[in-house]
Amino acid sequence: MSQTTPNKIFIKKIAFFAAVFLLMVLIFSSGAYFGYNRRPAMEKVLTVVNKNSQISSPAAAPIDFEPLWKTWNAIEEKYVSNDGLPRQEMLWGAIEGLAKSLGDPYTVFFPPEEKKMFESQIKGDFEGVGMEIGIKNNALTVIAPLKGTPAQRAGIKTGDIILKIDEKPTMDMTLDEAVRLIRGTKGTKVILTIIRKGEEKTREISVVRDRIEIPVIETNGISQEDNKEKYAAAGKEIFVIRLFNFNENALIAFRKALREMELSEKNKLILDLRSNPGGYLEVAVDIASWWLPMGKVVAKEKFSDGREILYRSKGYGALQNIPTVILVNEGSASASEILAGALKEHGKAVLVGEKTFGKGSVQELVPITDETFLKVTIARWLTPNGRSISEKGLEPDVAATITAEDETAKRDPQMEKAVEIINSNLSNI
């Protein structure tokens, strides 16, 4: 038997260790490859930052975001695109879908361009058709066309349901998407396909966009010569204030109207809130303070955790002994409903007309980035007695409607009924 030399033994040891090393590398590589491909989908998305941000709410149940990241990763790997993926738009779309999933038409995400449009509308500096719209019974509905705007001139009416904007159906369309489509540059045209209550056939109404100047107030005071014929039915003792919205200019305008009423020496008031889509809560509280003693509750703001914030009268009180009727209709919404509900429940006014729109929720603007924000519903409005305004609206004390025949004949049965009521013993209503 031959003896094994030291060199041969050394060579065999090297070969053995080399084989073991290669086997370990192979096992490690296979494991790493297997683990890499089995890692969470979030880790596979390499082009996203801040993936590990946590949900801050302590009450939030654990949510598995794996399906979201799998979807994103699948698009990254498989979607056919010659121009690259619009990753920023993908993110905006995901957030918009998140907001839309709540089923609340007033909770909306605003990407950069939509944010600019929203801010211009809040300032009252925009171009469009001039109407307030909302979602009612899952349908895009006209709350009110604004006075003197293209929408009003074209024949758009409160309660009209918008089925199409140009050729785009509005089913499942968000409220703010509808606003974006309807608004546009002065001089351009938009065609609205609508259906009107009591009619079976749809109508196509063409509206030419214009610069919108939002009106504030109208009275039948001694300085309004052009309104004498219009408000002749009101009589010598009755003063009429028509408030078109509750924007930041409404406070001064309302005070001026009260001064007109004082100079006119009239001692009864009809407050016309028909087709008034609302505005700032603070304005509604301030105006209610002319009827209510200091400290009386005007509205309650109720949050999801049961907390309530009370908004109280400032106690101006100049109108607390003035007989008052408030005119409302389907276009009376938000701040209009807050004011009307408060004065009704405190026994300071009688409501005449139709059931109001039912927009009783509170939104907050939450910055998401420097160029985007989320408008999210954070609370519900309640009347002083705790009645929710949302969806249900307010029922009038005395119902009165305006028919198509009334409009053709330029009659206003609601105003006539208000005059009749205010000239009767209001305590019997």
Within a 10 A sphere around the Cβ of 152, how many other Cβ atoms?
A: 18
**Partners of residue 135 on adjacent β-strands:** 140
What angle in degrees, to the nearest 10, is found between the helix axes of 281-288 and 250-264? 20
Distance CA 75, CA 425 (A): 71
| pLDDT for res 18 | 58
CB 294 within 8 A of CB 316: no
| pLDDT for res 125 | 57
CB 246 within 8 A of CB 279: yes
Quick check: 73 pLDDT over 70? yes
Q: Which of 136, 51, 62 is nearest to 91 (CA)?
A: 51
Instruction: List, as one string, the DSSP characters of 317-336.
Output: -TTTTS-EEEEE-TT--THH
CB 359 within 8 A of CB 134: yes
pLDDT one-digit tens code per residue, 83-105: 788 889 999 999 999 998 998 88
Rounded to the nearest angstrom, the gap between the alpha carbon of residue 286 and the centroid of all alpha carbons in its chain is: 22
Quick check: 25 pLDDT over 60? no
Query: What is the helix (H) or strand (E) element at residue 7, kind and residue range?
Result: helix 6-38
Joined together, the tokens standing for residue 329 give 């209709």
pLDDT one-digit tens code per residue, 266-277: 999 999 999 999
Where does the pLDDT of residue 382 fall: very low under 50, low under 70, confident under 90, or very high at 90 and above? Answer: very high
Number of residues in the chain: 429
Percentage of the chain lying above the pLDDT 70 cut:
79
Which residues are known to be catalytic? 334, 345, 359
State how far the alpha carbon of 393 is from the alpha carbons of 107, 163, 301, in Å. 19, 23, 16
Distance CA 157, CA 203 (A): 12
Where does the pLDDT of residue 323 fall: very low under 50, low under 70, confident under 90, or very high at 90 and above? Answer: very high
| pLDDT for res 52 | 57
pLDDT one-digit tens code per residue, 285-294: 999 999 999 9
**Partners of residue 217 on adjacent β-strands:** 243
- Mean pLDDT, residues 281-300 taken together: 97
- Most confident among 67-81, 207-221, 374-388 (mean pLDDT): 374-388
Q: Which residues lie closer than 8 Å to 105 by C-beta, 6 or more apart?
A: 134, 135, 174, 175
Distance CA 252, CA 65 (A): 51
